[in-house]
Amino acid sequence: MDYADLRQTVLSILTEEWNTHMDEFRELKLTDSDLAFYFHEAKIAVLHFLDWFANGGSGTAYTQPWVQKNIFNHSYRIRGRVDLIDRSPHPPLIVDWKVTKGKETTAQIKRQLVSYAFMYEEAFRVRPNVAAHFLLFKDGFRQFTVSDNAIESVKRVILETHQNTQSKDKSDYPCICGHCTDPEPASAEDSEVGDAA
């Protein structure tokens, strides 16, 4: 398909999806101006992602990337939902999509990416590279390698957090990711990757 036609097709799909959920948007009590602003930002994010993807940013003929994949580690009792795992390159690449107003890779974002890399390496015995893709910026793709020191630092933070926030009441740890419908997925094989511990 011609790239211009592809852009139009993708924007048509976005518009259709947006309109399908308009009643839900209205429940948020946003003004028409706010809705127009967020729709414009959504278009920018989608087009930047499409441009990146069309220029070889993700996926190959050899394997399909995993999208919106749960990843976990039993030993450290952590879990996350990864936007994209491209298993084609060596090392693999984990990408987290961001729609922030800026494109600064903060310490918090780096810690999140390193946590994903740690869980992936524990599960598959290969350390992936990681990237934050700031979708509102055409040049918003930031890729990093993960050092041993970064992994050790994240492991310390995880253990310290557990030590400072322990509770035996499961309701103290509700899932607030916005994606889960059940506390645990029905099939680990279908929706999660993690260690075998």
Domain ranges of the chain: 3-57, 66-167+175-194
pLDDT band with cut points at 50, 70 and 90 for residue 186: very low
**Comparing 32-41, 77-86, 177-186, which segment has the lowest mean pLDDT?**
177-186
Supply 108's token pair.
Answer: 């918090």
The model's pLDDT over 91-147, given as tens digits with 9 standing for 90+, comes to: 899 999 999 888 999 999 999 999 999 999 999 899 999 999 999 998 899 999 999
Phi/psi region, residue 102 (left: phi>0; alpha: psi -120 to 50; beta: rest), is beta
Supply 139's token pair.
Answer: 């040049």
Verify cis geometry, omega within 30 degrees of 0, for the bond prior to 128.
no
Burial 138-164 (b: 16+ CB within 10 A, else e): eebbbeeebeeebbeebbeebeeeeee
pLDDT band with cut points at 50, 70 and 90 for residue 196: very low
The predicted structure's pLDDT at residue 88: 78
Angle at 115 between CA 122 and CA 180, to 5 degrees: 95
Between 63 and 73, name the one with better pLDDT: 73
The model's pLDDT over 9-27, given as tens digits with 9 standing for 90+, comes to: 999 999 999 999 999 988 8
DSSP 44-96: HHHHHHHHHIIIIIS--SS-PPEEEEEEEETTTTEEEEEEEEE-SSSS-EEEE
Task: Let me know: does 129 contact 145? Beta carbons within 8 Å.
Answer: yes
**How far is CA 46 from its chain centroid?**
15
Between 181 and 105, name the one with better pLDDT: 105
The predicted structure's pLDDT at residue 63: 62
pTM exceeds 0.85 for this model: no
* pLDDT at residue 166 tops 80: no
**Closest by CA position to 182, among listed 193, 172, 191:** 191
Sheet of 78-86: strand order equals: 141-144, 129-134, 93-98, 78-86, 66-73, 192-194
